[in-house]
Amino acid sequence: MKKILLTGAIVASIFSGCATITQDNTQGVTFASVPSGAKIYIDGQVKGVTPVTIQLDKGDAEKVKFEKEGYSSVEKELETSVDGWFFGNIIFGGLLGSSTDAVTGNMYEYTPNTYTIELKKK
């Protein structure tokens, strides 16, 4: 029985990262505009109308476009930073666990996770 538990623990530590275990590979990012009602485009596709929270893949740095009729559109590059769980994983999970987080994109998070854009009339 001890052998099975030990083997399971070793396999789990090899094939998983700390941030991968504790968090999803997507993150909710909230978009708002003044005035509200702007369409939100990500990768050229409408994803919602402000105010809205959209689940985005963590590993992909995204560009967002705010567009509302009668107003100039605004494009913004979303910013990412290294998630704090990643550093804990380096300490406790070593190279294998931290590389899992790097490959899955879970070592990143969108910061800030809320964007409010003021649209200007044309």
Q: pLDDT, tens digit, for every residue of 5-64?
A: 444 444 444 444 344 444 567 889 999 999 999 999 998 899 999 999 999 987 666 799
pLDDT one-digit tens code per residue, 86-96: 555 545 555 54
How many residues in total does the chain contain?
Answer: 122
Could you tell me which of 35, 41, 37, 63 has the C-alpha nearest to residue 50?
Answer: 37
Task: Indicate the domain borders of the chain.
Answer: 2-118
Distance between terminal CA atoms of the chain? 71
CA distance 19 to 104: 10
At residue 85, does pLDDT exceed 80?
no
Per-residue pLDDT averaged across 104-118, rounded? 80
Q: How many CA atoms lie within 13 A of 75 on its CB side?
A: 5
pTM score over 0.85: no
